[in-house]
Amino acid sequence: MSKTLLERLAIGLSVLFIGIIAIFWLTQVGDVMETLCLAYGDFCFDEPE
């Protein structure tokens, strides 16, 4: 593969991977917040059901 193509692939795929992984982590953090809410209701904006 040519260098220019590799550079473009490197940039495009890196951005894509970073984006996907960011979403992956955010869903995990969401899980944590949910657990904290269930364990310590005071943390929550709303009362847990």
Partner 1 sequence: MDLLFIFEWLDTSFLADMSKAYGGVFAVVQMVHLVSLALLGGAVLITDLRLLGLVLRDVPSEVVTSNMDRWFSLALIIMAVSGVFMSSAVAIKLYYNEMFWAKMIGLSVGALFVYFIKRPLLAHPHETINVWALRLLAISSIVIWFTVAASGRWIGFS
Partner 2 sequence: MLNEWLLNFARWLDSFAWSTAIHESFYLYAWIESTHVLAIMVFLGMLFIIDLRILGLAFAQVPAARIAERLDKPMMIGFAVMVITGLLLFFAIPVRSTQSVWFRIKVVLLIAAGINAFLFRNKMKEVRRDGREEVEPSKRLRLGAGTSLFLWMGVVMTGRAIAYDWFDCHKDLSYAMYWVAGCVDEMALVE
Closest separation in Å from C-beta 13 to partner 2: 23
Q: Where in 14-43 is the site for partner 1 (CB under 8 A)? A: 14-15, 17-18, 21, 24-25
Q: Binding of partner 2 at residue 22 (CB under 8 A)?
A: no
End-to-end CA distance of the chain: 56
- Cα separation of 5 and 8, whole Å? 5
- Cα separation of 49 and 11, whole Å? 45
- Cα separation of 22 and 19, whole Å? 5
Q: Which does 35 bind (CB under 5 to 8 A by kind): partner 2, partner 1, none?
A: partner 2
> Which of 15, 36, 44, 48: binder of partner 2 (CB under 8 A)?
36
